[in-house]
Amino acid sequence: MAGLAPAPFAGMILADLGADVVRVDRKTGSDSKTVDSLTRGKRSIALDLKNPADKSTLLSLAAKADVLIEGYRPGVMESLGLGPLNVHAVNPSLVYARLTGFERHDPVWGKAAGHDINYIALSGLLSLIGSREMPIPPGPMLGDMAGGGMACVLGILAALVRRSVGGREIGSASRQCGGVANSAIARRQAEASNGIVVEAAMQDGAAYLATFYRHARAGDRGASIAGKQRGHNVLDGGAPFYRCYACKAPSHPDKSPHAQQRQFVAVGCIEPHFYSKMLELLGIKEDDESLPSQFDSDRWDELAEIFARKFAEKTRDEWAEIFLGSDACVTPVIEEVQDRRVPVVVDGHGRYNWKERSAGMAEDPGMVPGHGQDDVLREWVKGSKL
């Protein structure tokens, strides 16, 4: 079902992995492309779901589908007569996947409006991200995409495996998945329809992503990683050997619209032997008595100033050449987000094989709602036409 980013992202992942994904758009009569930028690999059909004939068409599609994904507020699909009970009545084996921001059954927030920043705020994850002064939202990647869309796909795949073995438990991994209360990958059996319903909440998914930090804070083993306030720990920018540094401005700056005015390198040399390699390539003598010790947190700000002055001596690309392929754990911060391959290749197969589609995969030509829908209906519902 067409909607905001998380559900389309889940559909795009499945399309990238080879699924035939049909996006159900709202019928508008316009030939304008949708503003959704996650239409890659999909086809579209435009319907007016308040029209009985169009609703019947959707149910006919659902009767042949393996999965339905919807990301509306709780109760919307039921009000249209397209909730799990309705859809499972025509296809009991269909996996009905539901994406919400807050937990669907939360009596306070369940039906409230919100966005990524709100979901990760209530999950506790936002409190871990940002400067020492305040949390800073990282864009929609953690709540909408990872905690929502990708977690939903995980639940869908688990449900499909469960369906393939006749609804039986599929081992300890399945029981563990199904036993996490209100988690983003929880799978609920629809009792009345005997179908499988996947419920994914971005709030829960974001909290799940913070499991490592939560466990680290709970014990002494992770005290140096997450035991202090935000911005004072090893992995959140507090350590001078795990943060970004500004470089010298290039003589011919990139004037493209996405280019940043300043360029940076990312430093992540936690282990002492990697740290030593970084010092070597920076031209800093490790045995210099004036150099603060790597893990002397009381002098981290002083050490960070030394590194900052050093990295400012050369451009990002010059440092990239110096550190290229080394074990110093120093890399350039690339401004154009890389999207040239699917994150998982199964046995070398997938719609976007990275060896064959190494260029251009990030391009999304856009989609006009309903374009090609006659082909969809002909293939999915023999003889049907809108």
What amino acid positions are annotated as catalytic residues?
144
C-alpha radius of gyration, the chain, whole number: 25
Q: Which two tokens stand for residue 226?
A: 């997450």
In angstroms, rounded to a whole number, what is the distance separating the alpha carbons of residues 352 and 19? 11
With tokens 């006749």, the residue in question is 166
C-beta separation of 28 from 46 below 8 A: yes
Q: What residue has token string 């893990």?
A: 295
Are the CB atoms for 137 and 82 separated by under 8 Å? no
Q: What are phi and psi of 226, to 5 degrees?
A: -140, 20
Q: DSSP secondary-structure letter at 347?
A: T
| DSSP conformation letters of 177-204 | HHTSTT-TT-EEEETTTTEEEEEEEHHH
> What is the residue-wise DSSP string for 29-96?
---PPPS-S--TTEEEEEE-TTSHHHHHHHHHHHHH-SEEEE-PPTTHHHHTT-SHHHHHHH-TT-EE
The CB density around residue 346, as the number of other CB atoms within 10 Å, is: 9
355: CB partners within 8 A, 6+ apart: none
Query: Residue 152 is which amino acid?
Result: C
Three-state SS sequence of 230-264: CCCCCCCCCCCCEEEEECECCCCCCCCCCCCCCCE
